[in-house]
């Protein structure tokens, strides 16, 4: 019997890329022997004609299934919705912009048939990204590997193949604030890695601004490590050293040139020293307390407005 395999693709304002994605993936999927496919398309509250294009595709080809979320919940939530809806013996999440090359899917499935439970796709060439993005990405992976208690594979995104056992294990993780790359790495299982060169986007623009990427990195740091709670101590100490150095400068300046405002030096040192320590500590504690607050609400990760193309 052929295996049912699932391709999970989140969409957000990707109307220009729907047809291109279908044209690119279908020949690849059809060329893989002894397999049947379902393509789970998750519309993450798109504001353009993405949903209409997906529904038209689902009416044309029954292999396409559409999960319509009630609003924009973010890529991590949309991917979770797709993984929850997928029924395949193996599941492959990928981006809609075709920077995850469909040609690699055939090699992923072959590695899975050879016994791999997770098949990672690693980018060996990020020349399509800007220099700043490449530099900050490298910094993120290096810093995360030092402070986190998981080994996050460098230059590996969400594009991967996961055996059904891995997907079921992932569904057991109850987090509301979901850093999927870290969750994937935390699971473990027998893993192999395939390298590829990342092509440019087929259509549209990236939805991740610099600010969103920063928040994403912050989510990664705080989801699997308590090191930031310790780091603020050292940052506060650094601020204190700077304050003391400046205090020394003021003392020297006062001795040589006099001081027209008595008491200024001592007030400045005290305010700077304690302010730097307190503000940093409050900020880091706030990040963790905020995540605790969100988790205790136990709100669902996403809400589904409708499912299209699924069997009742």
What's the CATH number where 157 sits?
3.90.550.10
CA distances from 300 to 72, 176, 252, 295 (A): 14, 7, 60, 10
Q: Is the domain of 71 the same as that of 143?
A: yes
Q: Is the domain of 135 the same as that of 185?
A: yes
Q: Is the domain of 218 the same as that of 293?
A: no
Q: Please state at what angle helix 210-223 crosses helix 180-187, rounded to 10 degrees.
A: 30
Work out how many domains the chain is built from and give that number: 2
Instruction: Please list the pLDDT of the chain residue by residue as tens digits (312 residues).
Output: 467 889 999 998 888 888 888 888 888 888 888 788 889 999 988 888 888 889 888 888 888 999 989 998 888 888 889 998 888 889 999 888 888 888 888 889 889 888 888 898 888 765 555 565 666 666 666 666 666 666 777 777 788 899 999 999 988 888 777 777 778 888 888 888 888 877 665 555 555 545 555 555 556 555 666 566 666 667 667 777 777 787 787 777 767 766 656 666 667 777 777 777 777 777 777 777 777 777 777 788 888 888 887 775
Q: Is the domain of 87 the same as that of 35?
A: yes
Q: Is the domain of 42 the same as that of 127?
A: yes
Residues 6+ apart with CB under 8 A from 312: none
Q: Is the domain of 167 the same as that of 257?
A: no
Q: Is the domain of 209 the same as that of 282?
A: no
Q: Is the domain of 102 the same as that of 47?
A: yes
**Burial readout 2-33 (b: 16 or more C-beta within 10 A, e: otherwise):** ebebbbbbbbbbbbebbebbbeebbebbeebe
Q: Is the domain of 104 the same as that of 244?
A: no
Can you tell me the distance from the alpha carbon of 230 to that of 138, in angstroms, rounded to the nearest whole number? 23
3-state secondary structure of 68: strand
How high is the pLDDT of residue 219?
60
Q: What is the DSSP string of 143-178?
A: HHHHH-SS---TTEEEEEEEEHHHHHHHHT---SS-
Cβ-based burial of 113 (10 A; exposed 0-12, middle 13-18, buried ≥19): middle
Q: Is the domain of 249 the same as that of 213?
A: no
Please name which of 135, 144, 106 lies closest in space to residue 220, comparing C-alpha atoms.
144
Range of the domain at 265: 227-297
How high is the pLDDT of residue 62?
86
How high is the pLDDT of residue 123?
81
CA distances from 196 to 9, 105, 156, 189 (A): 19, 11, 10, 22
Please name which of 218, 224, 155, 215 lies closest in space to residue 186, comparing C-alpha atoms.
224
Q: Is the domain of 38 the same as that of 180?
A: yes
Q: Is the domain of 190 the same as that of 269?
A: no
How high is the pLDDT of residue 40?
92
Can you tell me the distance from the alpha carbon of 44 to that of 54, in angstroms, rounded to the nearest whole number? 12
Instruction: Check if the beta carbon of residue 204 is closer than 8 Å to that of residue 97.
Output: yes
């Amino acid at each position: 019997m052929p295996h049912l395999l699932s391709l999970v693709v989140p969409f957000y304002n990707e109307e220009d890329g729907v047809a291109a994605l279908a044209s690119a993936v279908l020949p690849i999927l059809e060329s893989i022997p002894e397999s049947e496919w379902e393509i789970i398309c998750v519309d993450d509250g798109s504001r353009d004609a993405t949903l209409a294009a997906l529904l038209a595709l689902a009416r044309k080809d029954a292999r396409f299934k559409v999960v319509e979320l009630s609003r924009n919940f973010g890529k991590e939530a949309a991917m979770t919705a797709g993984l929850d809806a997928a029924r395949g013996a193996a599941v492959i999440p990928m981006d809609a912009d075709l920077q995850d090359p469909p040609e690699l899917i055939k090699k992923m499935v072959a590695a899975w048939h050879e016994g791999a439970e997770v098949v990672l796709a690693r980018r060996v060439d990020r020349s399509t990204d800007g220099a700043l993005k490449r530099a900050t990405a490298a910094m993120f992976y290096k810093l995360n590997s030092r402070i986190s208690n998981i080994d996050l594979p460098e230059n590996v995104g969400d594009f991967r193949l996961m055996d059904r056992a891995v997907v079921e294990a992932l569904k057991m993780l109850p987090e509301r604030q979901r850093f999927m790359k870290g969750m994937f790495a935390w699971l473990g299982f027998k893993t192999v890695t395939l390298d590829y060169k990342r092509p440019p986007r087929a259509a549209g623009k990236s939805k991740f601004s610099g600010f969103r990427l920063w928040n994403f990195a912050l989510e990664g740091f705080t989801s699997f490590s308590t090191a930031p709670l310790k780091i603020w101590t050292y940052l506060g100490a650094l601020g204190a050293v700077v304050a003391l150095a400046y205090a020394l400068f003021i003392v020297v300046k006062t001795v040589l040139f006099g001081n027209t405002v008595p008491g200024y030096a001592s007030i400045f040192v005290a305010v700077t020293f304690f302010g730097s320590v307190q503000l940093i500590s409050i900020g880091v504690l706030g990040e963790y307390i905020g995540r605790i607050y969100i988790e205790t609400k136990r709100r669902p990760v996403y809400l589904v407005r409708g499912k299209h193309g699924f069997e009742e």
